Structure 1
């Protein structure tokens, strides 16, 4: 139940703009009411600041997906999604198709995008395998990769849906509560907030337990998770087999910290950062009073690779790295999954006497849509930019006679 006082725009008598302008204005009002800057909303929602500005001004529509993300970030109780859903349903098949566009651009895939998340089966399996070892070994699992490699997508659209399918070797693990967060400027506060939402525990009691130290936070989380499991106890033989009996397998919290490097980049308080790391480590300790020997939480940290040395400064994280971590080479199996790999060659220059450049494949051959062909220089034999070229063709061509220069090539 939302006890928020009625804000501007809630009154039926107040006239609001129609269409995208109405949804954008409502988003702006809720954001300002909660004191969230546009830049912060862009960071938390994984949308660009410019795009969100256009949404608020009515220049871009507020999609159902964006509305749901903003509802979660701004804690509006689903108000924005309820505002745009009727319009989507009324527009029929075309609107539904637009709602589920599989192309995410520069934004990461989320949990709801699992059906569009392909080519990462090996990476997901590696993370699940390493995480299963953390059921008996203390410490978080660190997933490290360069910036832009797809760590967020791997964790959100790969790992979490896999866990929801019950891939861990513990009965009922598919029903374990999940807390997903990014550290932000105050990582410890964000951690306690997300745990409280995921487990139903009192935020005040969690803060008090953390202040007590000595594993009190882990005990409080364990009690909250166990309370959830017993409260949602199965009533049929089939559900007992899926969930685990109330006296059988224990349960744990799944805690995924995406963009863990924010604890170093955005948090300016060294003490809070250290307390945040200590809290994470305490949650991974095995419970001595539990026959199954599970930790209070399975903790996964998505970390940018260039922050490896910063993690080593914390003995607990250093020990976890020594036990094993996932060095995500997320693009390694993509070309094999998609058939023959292709290079998008922005500029390729061969000497004139070597003949024509490799022909474009059937995959969007010719100039890239939206890009103007441009000369690669004044030298003879310059080729235009924007061509899809099969890898095999480039390799064969280069073997015959290496190109004078190739710039801005990317494997897809």
Structure 2
């Protein structure tokens, strides 16, 4: 006879709050715009998944002014830049971002991959021409803002410089700061002092870049977010070191974002495993003070900087058809129901087998509880709410669940308060190995 499960008390305290949530989203390859044929996939990501953040890579490498490296600094000539930015590849990017603007979304523009060889030092790996590199980046941002009238505020200038090629040029932490300071000056010259940088987009999860960036006086008001990447999961000590680097900096209010996260499993045959570990990592980000997380990748596609087809997408790519994978539905349990502007609340489970997070709007009129039943037994939840308005406690919540056999399935509508002791809170049965959401949001 199967085990009936155990009672698990969850305590949510609305009087104790942590970081504000900036949103959730995806990295996206603009080359697949395809004259708007990508719009159904974009609508799925925005309207169903709940994505509000899009990290847009237009070219795929950071060599768009001189892909062969044969022109040299003359490639920064105004006529060459105009021909590139009016060309097909950039037009796809401008059109995609214009569509995002039409949906009230400010795209987060980024540059990644190899740079023209003449910008590198004698080792052929390390960025040395900071000035021309900054001029190239600023020219793209200026064209987007002034010529294409794209509404954007965030720009990521470099990618995984701790790894180097093909992810980006090699740039040591002190030089990274100098590049960003030169770029900020170049942006100001062009009247783009509203642009905020997302840095350092590093692969290795440590404080080596953030510690130096956070101490730059010039950058203290020009960094919009500190971006990190996660494909393996990290220790609490590693998260603590990163948080401390920001908190001890000149502007401790700069938020932490996980601008790439996912899993590197490449067979395509372990989708539930990938969905599960990605959700655990997303919980890690949020528990450790991150305000945003962006999945790598929006959909399966060919990435230029790696020169490889990848299957890291939330959506499986077919012939002009994009189908959600299990990882999509696992992300939806959080992305759809934890909205920008929500704050994370204190939440605790009395069972080590059930992991839980809670969020609400600032007025505590809406809330969302998300959790993972990590045990091999069902859990009978008793979610006790503290400090919420009476009308919330008298209301109802929607219960959604993703498991090996369910895809963000609508399970039930439940009272926010129970009538029968000991189940006096939200009462829900959660099967083993499942992801659950309890929310007041009307979707």
The structure with higher relative contact order (CA 8 Å, sep 6+) is 2
Shared fold (TM-score, shorter chain, > 0.5): no
Query: Please, what TM-score do these two structures have when normalized by structure 2?
Result: 0.30
Higher Rg of the two aligned structures: 1
Q: Which has the higher helix share?
A: 1
